[in-house]
């Protein structure tokens, strides 16, 4: 099954043009939607999740018109928003049972089997009777995936899932999403480049509502081969270098700015050619230098 989006556009009443003719084709597996805050990622996700209407364009999940048949889409959809509410004094076991009822699982025995299976899959079974208010950030996100998997969705939409997670929780979450992506279309919306690099076979970069790149992470990096130059400089020289070169990123390393510069020509003056990574691609696209 494929998700095919063509020329999707959305403008809010305040005049913000959140999506501008977005076109993407997404197949089974992990697909990363990378962009800064306010790029249009959440608008795109909410539109696909049938939570708001687009102004124009089309989106088809297989043969299903996602914009015209929202009830059919919801039968095949799992959604984990960036923030989601739960009943804090309810256990994970009780909450999943309730949500399974809402999904149409009327048989108590089937619900019991489903809830046990989901809790085991996200490694929360031993915490099944614990109130959700007592869950850590990572546990809450794993519970969020469990509720999104009710009904065995063909499309799973995950919005900024690893924000606030510690490294161990983040790795467990990565592993879980990768496993799910073997049989499901999983769209991962994030501003964290590492999430896309480590998880996704295909990706897109979006900013100001427009798709700036679509392809594989490796293809993205290859577009900058031989064009990224790095140099460690004194803080006092930063402004001068920003005026002279196309500086795409700056980070402090041992108290000194390490700058990455985009240039199609060889640079001297202490610059070293470096192998571009996905972060370089991201900043070059966002800064419109490549």
Q: Per-residue pLDDT tens for 40-94?
A: 999 999 999 999 999 999 999 999 999 999 999 998 999 988 777 767 789 999 9
Q: What is the pLDDT of residue 82?
A: 74
Confidence of residue 290 (pLDDT cuts 50, 70, 90): low
Please report, rounded to a whole number, the percentage of residues in the chain having pLDDT higher than 90. 71
Q: What is the pLDDT of residue 212?
A: 96
230-256 average pLDDT score: 95
Q: Per-residue pLDDT tens for 2-14?
A: 999 999 999 999 9
Q: Per-residue pLDDT tens for 204-226?
A: 999 999 999 999 999 999 999 99
Does residue 106 or residue 66 have the better pLDDT? 66
pLDDT of 142 > 90? The answer is no
pLDDT of 287 > 80? The answer is yes
pLDDT of 132 > 70? The answer is yes
CATH class entry, domain 3-76+153-216: alpha beta
Q: What is the pLDDT of residue 87?
A: 77
Q: What is the pLDDT of residue 48?
A: 95
Average pLDDT, the chain: 92
Q: Model-level pTM?
A: 0.88
Print the SS3 string covering the chain. CCEEEEEEEEECCCCCEEEEEEEEEECCEEEEEECCCCCCHHHHHHHHCCCCCCCEEEEEECCEECCCCHHHHHHCEEEECCCCCCCCCCEHHHHHHHHHHHCCCCCHHHHHHHHHHHHHHCCCHHHCCCEHHHCCHHHHHHHHHHHHCCCCCCEEEEECCCCCCCHHHHHHHHHHHHHHCCCCEEEEEECCHHHHHHHCCEEEEEECCEEEEEECHHHHHHCCCCCEEEEECCHHHHHHHHHHCEEEEEEEECCEEEEEEECCCCCCCCCEECCCCHHHHHHHHHCCCC
């Amino acid at each position: 099954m494929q998700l095919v989006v063509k020329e999707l556009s959305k403008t809010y009443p305040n005049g913000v043009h959140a999506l501008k003719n977005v076109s993407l084709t997404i197949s089974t597996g992990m697909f990363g939607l990378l962009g800064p805050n306010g790029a249009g990622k959440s608008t795109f996700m909410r539109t696909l999740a049938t939570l708001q209407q687009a102004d124009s364009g089309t989106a088809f999940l297989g043969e299903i018109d996602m914009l015209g048949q929202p009830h059919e889409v919801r039968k095949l959809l799992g959604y984990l928003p960036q923030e989601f509410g739960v009943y804090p004094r309810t256990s994970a076991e009780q909450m999943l049972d309730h949500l399974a009822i809402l999904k149409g699982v009327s048989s108590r025995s089937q619900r019991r089997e489903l809830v046990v299976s989901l809790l085991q899959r996200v490694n929360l079974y031993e915490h099944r009777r614990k109130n959700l208010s007592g869950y850590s950030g990572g546990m809450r996100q794993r519970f969020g995936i469990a509720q999104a998997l009710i009904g065995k969705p063909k499309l799973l939409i995950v919005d900024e899932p690893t924000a606030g997670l510690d490294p161990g929780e983040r790795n467990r979450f990565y592993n879980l999403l990768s496993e799910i992506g073997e049989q499901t279309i999983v769209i991962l919306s994030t501003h964290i480049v590492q999430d896309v690099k480590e998880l996704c076979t295909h990706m897109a970069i979006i900013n100001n509502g427009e798709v700036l790149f679509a392809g594989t992470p490796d293809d993205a990096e290859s577009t900058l081969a031989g064009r990224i130059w790095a140099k460690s400089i004194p803080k006092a020289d930063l402004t001068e270098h920003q005026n002279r070169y196309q500086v795409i990123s700056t980070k402090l390393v041992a108290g000194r700015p390490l700058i990455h510069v985009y240039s199609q020509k060889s640079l001297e003056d202490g610059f070293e050619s470096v192998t571009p990574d996905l972060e370089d691609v991201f900043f070059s696209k966002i800064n419109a230098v490549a």
